[in-house]
Amino acid sequence: MRTNIEFNADGVTLRGWFYKPDSGKGPFPTVVMAHGFTATKEMTLDRYAEVFSGRGLAVLVYDNRTLGDSDGLPRHNIDPTEQMRDYRYAVTYAQSCGDVDPNRIGLWGTSYTGGTVITVAALDRRVKAIVSQVPFVKGMANIKQFLPISQWDEFAVMLDEDRKRRMKGEPSQYIPVTTDDPNSVAAFPGIRTHRYFNDFASSVPGIKWENKVTVRSIEFLMEYDVTAFAPQVSPTPMMMIVSERDKSATTELAMEVFQLAREPKELVIIRADHYASYIEDFAMTSAAARDFFLKHL
């Protein structure tokens, strides 16, 4: 059973869905989930929630601030620090729900939020288990791996010019999230990325995703690094799901962070790319996460 929900996150209303298992008696162990960079909940989070709730887990799904059905200005401005704090507000909200066991709450995150849940778990002991799927963990290092050297000067100028605009009180400029033109600037280049976002944007009725993000978001992304938090997650159990050929959230960087984490931890590797975790290998990733939460919540 799915109902619409909303909650206050430091003055910003975040909106999403609450899934209650169709059988069993609450209060239920509960998973809190949000999507990655610019993505909205309609981009497969409903499918994950159905898999989880089908086995007795309640699920709280929400859109990150400035995206989808959630409020927040400027629109499409992605601040990972705010997203980290919003996860903690989501936990607080979940604990207030009568169908939720306040002492059995887990977090699921993917891509950008896959890194964010590592930070949250290190800071917040209310969180009893996390699944970090194809996590984006080190912004500057990741950008260096997929941005050609020939574009670095142009990239730096774009950031500097945007900072000058903001100093004058002007809004941050927007750039595309994806593009199918290899010679055009986009936050996350690559045809596979472009197809993932645009397939959902063109096929899901009422979806509120737009192919744009502020340049300021890229500056935040470059500062993003969850490395120092990885060893602090323990004793909270962590599962990391890593794609073997990930060019969006680089495999090697995710594995470095996994090695830094202490026990208890589990690693699942899918023999594919970043987006296969949501599509071709969905059955595998959703089942692995579900079983991990059932074991630890």
Q: What's the CA gap between 242 and 271, in Å, rounded?
A: 9
Q: For residue 199, is it within any domain?
A: no
Q: For residue 12, is it within any domain?
A: yes
- Beta-sheet pairing, 28-34 with 58-62: parallel
Q: For residue 210, is it within any domain?
A: no
CATH number of domain containing 31: 3.40.50.1820
* Residue 27, SS3 per DSSP: coil
Question: What is the per-residue pLDDT for 149?
Answer: 66
Question: What is the per-residue pLDDT for 126?
Answer: 98
Q: For residue 86, is it within any domain?
A: yes
Q: What is the pLDDT of residues 96-123, one digit of tens each?
A: 999 999 999 999 999 999 999 999 999 9
Q: For residue 31, is it within any domain?
A: yes
Read off the pTM. 0.95
Q: For residue 106, is it within any domain?
A: yes
Number of compact structural domains in the chain: 1
Question: What is the per-residue pLDDT for 144?
Answer: 78
State the residue range of the domain holding 130: 2-139+225-296
Burial (0-12, 13-18, 19+ Cβ within 10 Å), 2:
middle
Q: What's the CA gap between 254 and 243, in Å, rounded?
A: 9
Tokens 């699942």 correspond to what residue? 268
Q: For residue 230, is it within any domain?
A: yes
Q: What's the CA gap between 28 and 293, in Å, rounded?
A: 12
Question: How many angstroms separate the Cα of 51 from the Cα of each of 57, 58, 113, 284, 291?
Answer: 9, 10, 20, 11, 10
Q: For residue 238, is it within any domain?
A: yes
User: What is the longest distance spanned by two Cα atoms in the chain?
Assistant: 59
Residue 31's nearest CA partner among 10, 62, 71 is 62
Question: What is the per-residue pLDDT for 204?
Answer: 94
Q: What's the CA gap between 171 and 53, in Å, rounded?
A: 41
Spans of the chain below 50 pLDDT: none
